[in-house]
Chain A
Amino acid sequence: MLDKNYRLFGRISIIDIVLFILLVVFVFSARRFSAPQSVAAAPGDVAIRYTLELQRKLPDYINKIQTDTDIYDNLRGYYIGRIVDVYDEPYLEDVPDHDNEIIRRVPVDGLRTVYVVVEAAAQITEQTTTVGSYEILVGKDVFVRSKDFASSGFVVIVERDI
């Protein structure tokens, strides 16, 4: 059965057989002792509307931002949607109120928070929502630009199936 070169029937090295068996055992063990895989939802194109919050802007900043224009990630140039609305509110700062022992949200004269509403087609999986390869998640910081402006901010609202 084994020839003088330790090959079964003169064809397959017995060491190769042992190596193969060990590899199978390792693959099985790795799968057996690893955490279970999660099932991801099938991605697809879902219409979303999301709102970006741009803080600490001067009152005339909102005039720079035009609706019905495209918006992009300022770091890599990804297209991330089309601006459909823009509005602003007083910029609020956390200020200690020593008399009442609380930290209040107080408007600051001369500064505004600008909200930019964007519509895009997104892919939604169990793990994330992306427009192309750009993640759109509430709380994510963003660096965006259009032909009229550039700014950093945060995603604050994401609506699906609009």
Chain B
Amino acid sequence: MMIIDKQGRIAGKVSVIDLALLIILLGLAAGFLYRQFSVTKTVQLANAKFYVTLAVEPVREYSIDAIAVEDVFYEQYATQSMGKVVAIDKLEAKEIIKKTNGEPLYVSMEDKYRLLITLECSGIVRDTGYFVNGNTQLSEGSDLRVQSNKVFCAARVETISETI
């Protein structure tokens, strides 16, 4: 008796394609269940609220004038927003210069600023970190390109916290 008949059915009863699809889906299900209920007891809070502060520097007044509280920010090319602006802090920008004797100095930059933009984000909080847009992980120190519908800038994640 042929194992697979000429209609692609094992022992004449079960389609090979159906069986292959079933095995793939069961494998995906097993992987999903393992991630959800693994021994490490990963804690996951879906749709959790947390606060991300982005540092943008050095910027001129042009960029500062284009950012306001309640503006919604996206990571460049993302289809879902990161969050909305809840606080903006303007500090002086600084850069290193060298004195004539070679000594480095960390000094202020005239008419340039360091902007701290705090976003209220809605995403997923896991034991492994904070996630926006489903699976984009944010960590302190991450470099991002972000935009609202008024401004575009390169930013670094300064802090992430669950309270403002």
Interface residue ranges, A against B (CB under 8 Å): 4-6, 13, 15-16, 18-19, 22-23, 25-26, 29, 32-38, 94, 96, 98, 101-105, 124-129, 135, 137-140, 156-158
Give bound CA distance, A65 to B8, whole Å.
71
Question: Measured between C-beta atoms, what is the minimum distance from B103 to chain A in Å?
Answer: 10
Interface string of B129-155 (1 = CB under 8 A from A): 001111000000000000111111100
Question: Can you report 14 residue pairs joining A to B where beta carbons are below 8 Å apart?
Answer: A5-B9, A15-B22, A34-B134, A35-B47, A38-B72, A94-B95, A94-B109, A96-B107, A98-B99, A101-B105, A102-B107, A103-B110, A125-B149, A139-B151
Interface residue ranges, B against A (CB under 8 Å): 9, 12-15, 18-19, 21-22, 25-26, 28-29, 32, 44, 46-47, 59-60, 62-63, 65-66, 72, 74, 80-81, 95, 97, 99-100, 105, 107-112, 122-124, 131-134, 147-153
Give bound CA distance, A19 to B15, whole Å.
13
A126 near B97 (CB under 8 angstroms)? no
Give bound CA distance, A103 to B62, whole Å.
19
Question: Measured between C-beta atoms, what is the minimum distance from A153 to chain B in Å?
Answer: 12
A101 near B107 (CB under 8 angstroms)? yes
B14 near A15 (CB under 8 angstroms)? yes
A156 near B62 (CB under 8 angstroms)? yes
Residues of A with C-beta under 8 A to B95? 94, 103
B110 near A4 (CB under 8 angstroms)? no
Question: Measured between C-beta atoms, what is the minimum distance from B104 to chain A in Å?
Answer: 11
Residues of B with C-beta under 8 A to A126? 72, 81, 149
The listed residue (A22, A103, A127, A129) touching B107 by CB distance below 8 A is A103
B97 near A38 (CB under 8 angstroms)? no
Q: Name which residue of chain A comes closest to B93, CB basis.
A: A103
Give bound CA distance, A135 to B76, whole Å.
12
B100 near A98 (CB under 8 angstroms)? yes
Question: Measured between C-beta atoms, what is the minimum distance from B13 to chain A in Å?
Answer: 5
B97 near A96 (CB under 8 angstroms)? yes
Known: A105-B110, A129-B149. A18 touches B63 (CB 8 A): no
Give bound CA distance, A148 to B97, whole Å.
40
Known: A126-B81, A128-B147, A158-B66. A6 touches B46 (CB 8 A): no
B147 near A137 (CB under 8 angstroms)? yes
The listed residue (A22, A101, A158) touching B25 by CB distance below 8 A is A22
Give bound CA distance, A16 to B18, whole Å.
7
Question: Measured between C-beta atoms, what is the minimum distance from A54 to chain B in Å?
Answer: 14
